[in-house]
Chains A and B, each alone.
Chain A
Amino acid sequence: MQDPRLSLRGVTKSFDDVQVLRGIDLDIAPGEMVCLIGASGSGKSTLLRCMNGLEPVDDGEVWLDGVDIAEPGFDLAPVRQRIGIVFQSFNLFPHMTAYENVALAPRRVLGEDARDRIEALFVRFGLADHINKYPDQLSGGQQQRVAVIRALAMRPQTMLLDEITSALDPELVGEVLDVLRQLRDDGMTMVLATHEMAFAREVADRVVFMDQGVVAEEGAPDAIFSAPERERTRKFLASVLR
Chain B
Amino acid sequence: MIAGVSTLIVLALVIVLVPLAPGWEAVRASFFDGEVFVRVFPDLLRAFLLDVAIFAWSVPMIFAMGLAIALARGNTNPALFPLRIFGAVYVDLFRGIPVVLLVYLVGFGIPGLGLSRPWNSPYIWGTVALVLTYSAYVAEVLRSGIESIHASQRNAAICLGLSERDTMRFVILPQAIRRVVPANMNMLVALQKDVALLSFIGPVEILRQAGIFKSLLANFTPYVVAAVIFLCVTVPATRYADYLLNRDRNARS
Residues of A within 8 A of B (CB): 52, 54, 77-78, 80-81, 84-85, 87, 89, 91-95, 104-105, 108-109, 150-151, 154
Contacts and interface: CB of A to CB of B under 8 A. Distances in A.
Interface of B: 152-153, 155-163, 166, 170-171, 174-175, 178
Contact of B159 (A52, A89, A95): A52
A93 B152 contact: no
Contacts of A84: 159
A104 B152 contact: no
State the majority secondary structure of interface residues on A: mixed
A81 B161 contact: yes
Nearest to B150: A91
A109 B155 contact: no
Nearest to B166: A108
B162 A108 contact: yes
Nearest to A76: B158
State the majority secondary structure of interface residues on B: helix
A87 B158 contact: no
Given A95-B174, A95-B178, A108-B166, A154 B161 contact: yes
27 contacts: A52-B159, A54-B159, A80-B158, A80-B159, A81-B161, A84-B159, A87-B155, A89-B152, A91-B152, A92-B156, A93-B156, A93-B157, A93-B170, A93-B175, A104-B160, A104-B162, A104-B170, A104-B171, A105-B157, A105-B160, A105-B161, A109-B161, A109-B162, A109-B163, A109-B166, A150-B160, A151-B160
Nearest to B169: A108
B161 A77 contact: yes
A37 B174 CA distance: 37
A85 B161 CA distance: 11
B149 to A, nearest CB: 10
Contacts of B158: 54, 80
Contact of B175 (A77, A95, A109, A151): A95
A87 B156 contact: yes
B145 to A, nearest CB: 13
B6 to A, nearest CB: 43
